[in-house]
Chain A
Amino acid sequence: MTAIQISVFLENKSGRLAEVTHALAKGGINIRALSLAETIDYGVLRLIVDKPKEAKTALAEAGFTVTETEVIAVAMPDRPGGLAGIVDLVTRHGLNIEYLYAFVGQRGENAVVIFRVDNAEEAITALQEGGAHVLSAAELSAI
């Protein structure tokens, strides 16, 4: 039940992020969500896209260091306290969240939160037992 995130290693050089977006545009790939983690020297760009396989190929061909990462995508109610409930489900079991970011779906009723944890299987079980809606890769792509 994990979803695929595309991660890209980026040096902090002007124009590098633009090159990523152009490579994806040329490949006809739609970005659903993204997050950028950075240090002074470099950053890691994390992307949720409609076609992960094609996105990875397009970026690799454009010369980027790309990897597929398994993440967990959870649909949550788009209202105050929505994220808090989800995070509680995960951390209650002693699981450690490496990073997380969220976006709001097109209809605006549901938001989606993307997680990376050290033990995905346990986290998914915990979330599902807590009644959260964990999205499959197909469901995520269809948003």
Chain B
Amino acid sequence: MHETTPCWNREMEFMEEGHLRPLQSERLRDVVARVYERVPYYKEKLDAAGVSPEDIRGIEDIVRLPFTSKDDLRDTYPFGLFAVPMEQVVRVHASSGTTGRPTVVGYTRRDVQMWAEVMARTFAAGGTHIGDVVQNSYGYGLFTGGLGAHYGAELIGASVVPTSGGQTKRQVQILQDFGSTVLCCTPSYALVIGETGREMGVDFAGLPLRVGFFGAEPWSQSMRQEIEASLHVDALDIYGLSEMIGPGVSFECLEKGGLHINEDHFFPEVINPKTGDPVPDGELGELVFTSLTKEALPVLRYRSRDLTRIVTEPCGCGRSLRRMERVTGRTDEMLIVRGVNVFPSQVEEVLMRIEETTPNYLLVLDRKPRGMDEMEVQVEVSERTFSDEMSKLETLSERIGGEIEETLGLRVSVRLVEPRSLERSTGKAKRVMDRRDLGR
């Protein structure tokens, strides 16, 4: 079954649940015992939560463990959560730290090997093999993207070209001259490479470039189509966070139906960000990860603040590793309107389904004098499908309002606005204007 699916580690990627769960249980017991013994910060945290390592018998007991947040990493800056002496740490990476102190992550030799393994799975799932020329345009440095992708591609035996980011014309030149077959970079940079190439007169259809692994920032299905049309590649989503390892936590296969989680190393949970309770599979919530095998920096129940859901249907590729949907939003973006939790990404999902609009929108929140919150959704009319008949425009705004109400369980008003009148999505677009005076 599925013998033809390209993969790196058939045993782990196709392991039956009946074998995987005991393995996860064993690894969870081990990691909890290790941090309790070696990381004073975790010992304190577990003691405060009234949990001892003996209480953790299997993976189902994971919900008893306290969460770890970015603040915990900041509080213990730089090496306070490391579970091994520095003599065993062979690599250190750090986040940019634009909002406070950077978070620092460390790796033992075995951690680096495991990282290469999960990235090799990622590359193999997109059909990468010996003989491929992998152009790695993720930044090399403190950022985990560059080296993470590098080691995985090298492990496969592909020829890695470490271009790092920037110097786009040179990137295009190398794509052409070296005959790169695989490209790694952020999705927005992939579009820049495509545009620059066309300005230089490059015909991407005529290049050997075949597949791209894009991540490190949220992107959408429509962006995938744009990239695939621009570069003539299969555009695959990759996901990771440095607190777990970096890129390689989860990866898309060529089915492009969500990201398989390397759950033998990173155990996923999806929780309600307000209550911390797990939500059923298939429901939107905050993604939480526990590193099951990391040595230098094991992390229990790390709150990623990324919003997604677990996909329950089996994947066409045959892998048993569970899938998560592409990350569409952040918990920091959560709004509470008339007691309902609203994530802007839910509105975006609705708009993506409606052909007559662009996924550009703005949520405007107001509080009426009598105290009721009102949410207005401003939506750009799409140029292609603009109708000059008022009745059709009215029907369109009613349909948008209806579908949003169905998704959110909240009545909203819809205002159609001109295309390009809302801020463009280059990275972090402004999606919410909260005019409620919540200071009262």
Contacts and interface: CB of A to CB of B under 8 A. Distances in A.
Contacts of A37: 390
A42 B390 CA distance: 10
B389 to A, nearest CB: 6
B315 interface: no
Interface string A1-28: 0000101011100000000000000000
A65 B381 contact: yes
Q: Which of A9, A37, A46 counts the most B-chain CB atoms under 10 A from its CB?
A: A9
Given A9-B381, A39-B394, A64 B389 contact: no
A69 B415 contact: no
B353 interface: no
B419 interface: yes
Nearest to A67: B386
Nearest to B389: A98
B420 interface: yes
A41 interface: yes
A7 B417 contact: no
Nearest to A42: B416
Contacts of B381: 9, 65
Nearest to B420: A63
Contacts of A42: 393, 415-417
Interface string A42-56: 101010000000000
A7 B391 CA distance: 14
Interface magnitude class on chain B: 10 to 19
A7 to B, nearest CB: 3
Interface of B: 381, 383, 386-391, 393-394, 415-421
A9 B418 contact: yes
A116 B381 CA distance: 22
B421 A7 contact: no
A65 B391 contact: no
Contacts of B390: 37, 39, 44, 99
Q: Which of A39, A41, A44 counts the most B-chain CB atoms under 10 A from its CB?
A: A41
Contacts of B394: 39
Contact of B419 (A39, A44, A65, A98): A65
A64 B388 contact: no
B385 to A, nearest CB: 9
A69 B419 contact: no
Contacts, number: 44
Given A39-B394, A67-B388, A98-B389, 14 more contacts: A9-B381, A9-B386, A11-B418, A11-B421, A39-B393, A41-B415, A44-B388, A44-B389, A46-B388, A63-B420, A65-B381, A65-B419, A98-B391, A116-B388
A65 B360 CA distance: 15
Contact of B418 (A5, A39, A65, A69): A65
A67 B392 CA distance: 14
24 contacts: A5-B388, A7-B386, A7-B388, A9-B381, A11-B417, A39-B390, A39-B393, A42-B393, A42-B416, A42-B417, A44-B388, A44-B390, A44-B393, A46-B388, A63-B418, A63-B420, A65-B381, A65-B386, A65-B419, A67-B387, A67-B388, A69-B388, A98-B391, A99-B389
Contacts of B386: 7, 9, 65, 67
User: Which 3 residue pairs across A and B have the least CB separation, nearest first?
Assistant: A7-B388, A41-B415, A69-B388
Nearest to A37: B390
A69 B390 CA distance: 13
B50 to A, nearest CB: 55
Interface in A42-82: 42, 44, 46, 63-65, 67, 69
B391 A64 contact: no
B392 to A, nearest CB: 9
Contacts of A39: 390, 393-394
B203 to A, nearest CB: 28
Contacts of B421: 11
A78 B418 CA distance: 38
Contacts of A10: 418
A99 B387 CA distance: 13
B426 to A, nearest CB: 18
Contacts of B416: 9, 41-42
Contacts of B418: 9-11, 63-65
Contacts of B419: 65
Contacts of A69: 388
B401 to A, nearest CB: 13
B35 to A, nearest CB: 56
Interface string A123-134: 000000000000
A11 B416 CA distance: 8
Contacts of B415: 41-42
Interface in A92-116: 98-99, 116
A95 B417 CA distance: 32
A49 to B, nearest CB: 15
B366 to A, nearest CB: 15
Nearest to A46: B388
A82 B102 CA distance: 78
